[in-house]
Amino acid sequence: TLKRLAANDEVVMLLFDAGVVPTTLSLIAWCTGPHSFQFQPRLCRSACSLLWQTACSDGPKESIINDGTTLLGDVVRRYPKHAGVLEQAVGALGAATLRQPALAESAASMGAFETCADALKAAPEKEWVCRQACLAGSNMVRRSDECKSRAHAANLEELVRSARARHPKSCKDVGTAFLRDLGIEDYKN
């Protein structure tokens, strides 16, 4: 599969230059369409997984954020009962904003924090969805005051605290990091 090919920066950039990001985003857009035959959770999960893998390289991140942030929110709203899809969608968002404060601000302005909140609300019992949503939020707020205010507006603090309490093994570290980076004084509690 393409995901297996996207194993290092050189290969990712070859795939990026060949148009893997717009092609993958087109496939994801099709999977979020209104018709019942377009409801394809396995296909959407695989496409989001490829997008996530591609976002691990810095080259494609801007394209993924600019062209995919709103679409990833559509995925979370279209597939709320499919934890694997949710995990891959918010994972892609988190990877694309890692160490990229300007892209994090762009993503935030396009509803990225609301997407994280929607994923946390849709699957509070699914620890890996919660972990990826906490990571994505932490990546975005880490170096941006604008993102911190948008995260507060999306009411993520309460959702992250809940995820951290519900899944201490998988969410305590990332939830605590998110709260710390958000500037919460009692972030350890």
Reported as a single tens digit per residue, the pLDDT across 135-148 is 999 999 999 999 99
pLDDT reading at 23 higher than 90: yes
**How high is the pLDDT of residue 14?**
81
DSSP letter for each residue of 78-143: H-TT-HHHHHHHHHHHHHHHTT-HHHHHHHHHTTHHHHHHHHHHH-TT-HHHHHHHHHHHHHHHTT
**How high is the pLDDT of residue 7?**
63
Give Rg (Cα) of the chain.
Answer: 16
Q: Which pLDDT band, with edges at 50, 70 and 90, does 11 fall under?
A: confident
Q: Which pLDDT band, with edges at 50, 70 and 90, does 5 fall under?
A: low
Q: pLDDT tens digit string along 38-80?
A: 999 999 999 999 999 999 999 999 999 999 999 999 999 999 9
pLDDT reading at 2 higher than 70: no
Token pair 């500037």 is at which residue? Answer: 183
Q: pLDDT tens digit string along 95-135?
A: 999 999 999 999 999 999 999 999 999 999 999 999 999 99
Mean pLDDT value across the chain: 94
